[in-house]
Structure 1
Amino acid sequence: MHVIVTGGSSGIGLAIAKIYASRGDRVSLLARHPGRLAEARAEIASLPGSDSAWVQTASVDVASADQVSASIESCEVSFGPCDILIASAGIVEPGTFDTMPPSVFDEQVSTNLLGTVNVVRAVYRGMKSRRGGKIMVISSGAALIGIFGYTAYCASKSALSGFVEALRAEAGIHGIQVSICFPPDTLTPQYRREIVVRPAEAEILMGSVRPWSAETVAARIVRGVDRGRAKAHFGFSLAVLAYFGPLIKPPLMWWFSRKTRKIAGKSRPKPAEGADEGFYHDK
């Protein structure tokens, strides 16, 4: 079996690749950084049950449709048609909407949404002709609710839900399984970079839940693929939010709004003596 994993040089993607490699599957890792890919390949090759001859890498920016098409074509020439695609590549750069440079916003949409579309497109025609294949799109728990400081990330990840739902309607008649999952905060190199610049307001919603390990998240994703699940959620709170969001989110966002106003009030400069303080009063 040939498994292609984007974002496979670290984090959840690498953890997933390790599972499939340990099963004896052929694994292709796609990511941007050649050095990290080389390290990932060596790490996988050292695992019991894996064979270095069945692990290959390709340096590619998933936001480029041409690069993706060429890389996946090369991978399929070496290891055969793609049986399973894990679309894991993604980036996050927190920041309030008005302070975020357009290039930073656009990059997150290009990588997280269009990058996923590009890799799915690259394997879809072959799966359709063979009338079989599995696609797992990795979204985020941030797709389930708007989070302060994550306008670009929430937009790009929530858009994947609509894409997958529509694609599943088309793909099912051709024997292709299309799934999506919504991981929580996960202990990855990207998470460790992100948490340093995460806004305090976002911590109100996100910081109360301990991050999951990449290995635990990966195991649940692979199990979801094995069992043909259309969606995979992680933990009670995210599952409830996914299924009962329309009921839960209005009071939750009202509570969140009150909390963020308090934070904003504390961060405002103290008015000069004798000035009108009404503007700064936190109601």
Structure 2
Amino acid sequence: MHVIVTGGSSGIGLAIAKLYAARGDRVSLLARHSGRLDEAKAEIAALQGVDGSLIRTVSVDVASAEATAEAVELCEASLGPCDILVTSAGIVEPLAFDAMPASVFDEQVITNFLGTANAVRAVYHGMKSRRRGRILMVSSGAALIGIFGYTAYCASKSALTGFAEALSAEADACGVDVSICFPPDTLTPQYRREISRRPPEAEILMGSVRPWSAEAVAARIVRGLDRGTPRIHFGFSLMALAYFGPLIKPFLIWWFSRKTRKITGKEAS
């Protein structure tokens, strides 16, 4: 089986790639930074029983549809048609909307949403023609509720929900399975960078939940893919938001608004 992972040089993507490689599957990693890809490949190849010749890396920015298609073509030429695509490439830059440059907002939407669509487009035709394949989009718990300072990130990750649902409706008759997952805060290099920039208002809502390890998130994702689960959730609070959001969110928004006004008042004084 050939598994292609975007954002595979670190974090959740790398942890997923390790699990599949340990099973003996062929794994391709796509990411922007060639140096990190080399390090990731070495980490995977060092795992017991893993054949390094079954690991392929390609440096690419998924924001480019053409470059992503070319990268996938290279991977499939080396390791065969893609059986599973995991779209884990993503970025987050927390900042209040009116303080966020348009370029920073756009980059998050392009990478997180359009980058996912570009990767899916690169494998989808082949999967349809073979009448088999699995696609897993990595969204975020931030897709389930709006968070102060995360306008671009919440918007881009929420958009993946509609994309996954609509694509699933189209793909089902062709034998292609489409899934989406909503990870919580996860201990990754990106999280460590993000947390240093997280606004105090966002910390009210997000800081009370202990981050998961990338390995634990990856294990649940792979288990969900094995079972054909269309939506993969993490922990009671995010699962409750996913299924009972219309009932829960009005109270959360009211509570959060009160807390935010207190912070704003302190800053103004």
CA distance in 2, matches of 1:121, 1:49: 33
- Secondary structure in 2 aligned to 1:86? strand
CA distance in 2, matches of 1:39, 1:197: 26
Separation in 2, partners of 1:109, 1:116:
10
2:212 counterpart of 1:212 = yes
Shift of 1:100: 0.0
Aligned to 1:14: 14
Match of 2:226 in 1: 226
Query: Which residue number in structure 2 is paired with residue 96 of structure 1?
Result: 96
Written as runs of structure 1 = structure 2, the 5 A alignment for 1:243-262 is 243-262=243-262
Greater radius of gyration (CA): 1
Q: Distance in 2 between matches of 1:127 and 1:15?
A: 24
Are residue 239 (structure 1) and residue 258 (structure 2) matched? Answer: no
SS in 2 for 1:259: helix
What secondary structure, in the 3-state scheme, does the structure 2 residue paired with 1:135 have? strand
Structure 2 residue aligned with 1:277 = none
Say yes or no: does 1:125 pair with 2:125.
Answer: yes
Look up the match of 2:52.
52
Aligned counterpart, 1:3:
3
Deviation at 1:32, TM superposition (A): 0.2
Taking the aligned partners of 1:40 and 1:252, their CA distance within structure 2 comes to: 39
Aligned residues: 269
- Take 1:70 and 1:49, find their aligned partners in 2: how far apart are those partners? 30
Structure 2 distance, partners of 1:42, 1:163, is 34
Matched position secondary structure for 1:98: helix
Corresponding residue for residue 276 of structure 1 = none
Secondary structure of 1:28's aligned partner: strand
Counterpart Cα distance in 2 of 1:168 and 1:188: 29
Indicate the residue corresponding to 2:140 in structure 1.
Answer: 140
Q: 2:240 aligns to what SS in structure 1?
A: helix
Q: Which amino acid aligns with 2:170?
A: E
Deviation at 1:48, TM superposition (A): 1.0
Identity value in percent: 76
The AA in structure 2 aligned to 1:266 is: K
- 5 Å matches for 1:24-173? 24-173=24-173
Shift of residue 49, structure 1, vs aligned partner: 2.0
Q: 5+ unaligned residues in a row in structure 2: which ranges?
A: none
Give the residue type in structure 2 aligned to 1:141: G
Q: Secondary structure at the match of 2:50?
A: coil
Amino acid at match of 1:19: L
Give the superposition deviation at 1:42: 0.2
Question: Structure 1 segments of 4 or more deviating over 3 A?
Answer: none
> Deviation string for 1:220-239 (max 9, x for gaps)?
00001100000000000000
Rounded Cα–Cα distance in structure 2 between residues aligned with 1:191 and 1:74: 30
> In structure 2, how many angstroms separate the alpha carbons of the residues matched to 1:65 and 1:37?
20
Q: Secondary structure at the match of 1:249?
A: helix
- TM-score, with structure 2 as normaliser: 1.00
Per the TM alignment, residue 192 of structure 1 is displaced from its structure 2 partner at its CA by 0.1
2:175 aligned residue: 175
SS at match of 2:134: strand
CA distance in 2, matches of 1:49, 1:264: 55
Question: 2:98 is paired with a residue of what secondary structure?
Answer: coil
Distance 1:43 1:78 in 2: 20
Give, as a single letter, the amino acid of the residue that structure 1 aligns with 2:226: D
Please give the alpha-carbon distance, in whole angstroms, between the structure 2 residues aligned to 1:81 and 1:190. Answer: 30
SS at match of 1:177: strand
Aligned mates of 1:196, 1:15 — CA distance in 2: 23
SS of corresponding position for 2:119? helix
SS at match of 2:85: strand
Q: Give SS of 1:134's match.
A: strand
Report the 3-state secondary structure (helix = DSSP H, G, I; strand = E; otherwise coil) of the residue aligned with 1:93: coil
**Partner residue of 1:274?**
none
Computed over aligned residues only, the root mean square deviation of the Cα atoms, in angstroms, reads 0.4
Q: Per-residue CA shift, 1:209-253, capped at 9, x if unaligned?
A: 000000000000000110000000000000000000000001110
Letter in 2 for 1:97: F
Which amino acid is the alignment partner of residue 187 of structure 2?
Answer: L
